[in-house]
Amino acid sequence: MKNRDSIIRYYKSGDNGALAARLIDLADSAVKGRPYTVSEFVTPGAVQIGETINAHVSSLFLRTDGGYKGAERVKLCFVRDDYDGPVPTDITACRITWDARYRLLGHRDVLGALMSLGIDRSRFGDIIMHEDGAVILTDTALFPYLQQHLEKIAMVSVTVSEVPLTSIPPRQEKVKEIKTTVASLRLDAVVSSGFGISRTKAAEAIKGERVRVNWQPAKGPAQEVGAGAVISLRGKGRMELVEITGTSRKGRTGILLKRYM
């Protein structure tokens, strides 16, 4: 496709050049004759790459499917504009249950159990936690393997069953609005205010590659961020810099943040 090299070069600066190349190859397969192509499960950052690719190919349109409304990790579908048939994404909802007394099991425990089985992260999507279990959106072909091999999570016995995708309610996130001021729009200052940690710890997290901006690795504590930036801190969640509200009398910059709990 045209602009292939420039797209890869742009995303390579954020360590996503290889992913951009794979998605371009996927789109090219549809351009060259396949009615549609479907990716593995990808992050919201990969969706941005898919949208960039789609903007350069007029004969395709982009769909996303994570198994339920509001899914964060989804599959990308590049579909020819002259094709109006079904686009199967082969997603199954896998219900994991355990004794309700073990409520300390969390998202990290479930994710760790899946990774310990040698399952690549691209084979499954969102993990939705409940008090007595979780629902994992997986490749349909992976489900029998999970039924056979996923027996325990953090030493707690679990059972695996399939549930209809239609039984999963739309994702609803708790949002906390934060109106504050910062000395500047440097990333470390915004991370400090939004996540309630010291600026020193914010800088350490950024240098430790625990912070992402718009799903790309942060460039450094001094990186400037603007309205619309989505910032995530591993272990703390993510937030959006919604608006720059002005300058205070003391010269500080007012910002409005939305933190997703």
Q: What is the pTM of this model?
A: 0.79
**pLDDT score of 67 more than 80:** yes
**pLDDT score of 116 more than 90:** yes
Q: What is the DSSP letter of 252?
A: P
CATH number of the 4-80 domain: 3.30.1370.160
* Residue in the block written with tokens 């910059």: 253
Of residues 171 and 230, more confidence is placed in 230
**Per-domain residue ranges of the chain:** 4-80, 91-167, 175-260
Q: Average pLDDT in the 175-186 region?
A: 94
**pLDDT score of 4 more than 80:** yes
How far does Cα 139 stand from its chain's mean position? Answer: 17
Q: What pLDDT score was predicted for residue 105?
A: 87
138-147 pLDDT, tens digit each: 999 999 999 9
What CATH homologous superfamily does 91-167 map to?
RRM (RNA recognition motif) domain (3.30.70.330)
Q: What pLDDT score was predicted for residue 100?
A: 79
Grade residue 130 by pLDDT with cuts at 50, 70 and 90.
Answer: confident
184-214 pLDDT, tens digit each: 999 999 999 999 999 999 999 999 999 999 8
Which fold is adopted by the domain 175-260? Answer: 3.10.290
Average confidence score pLDDT of the chain: 93
Q: Read out DSSP for 120-178? A: -GGGEEEEEEETTEEEEEEEGGGHHHHHHH--EETTEE-EEEEE-GGGSPPP---EEEE
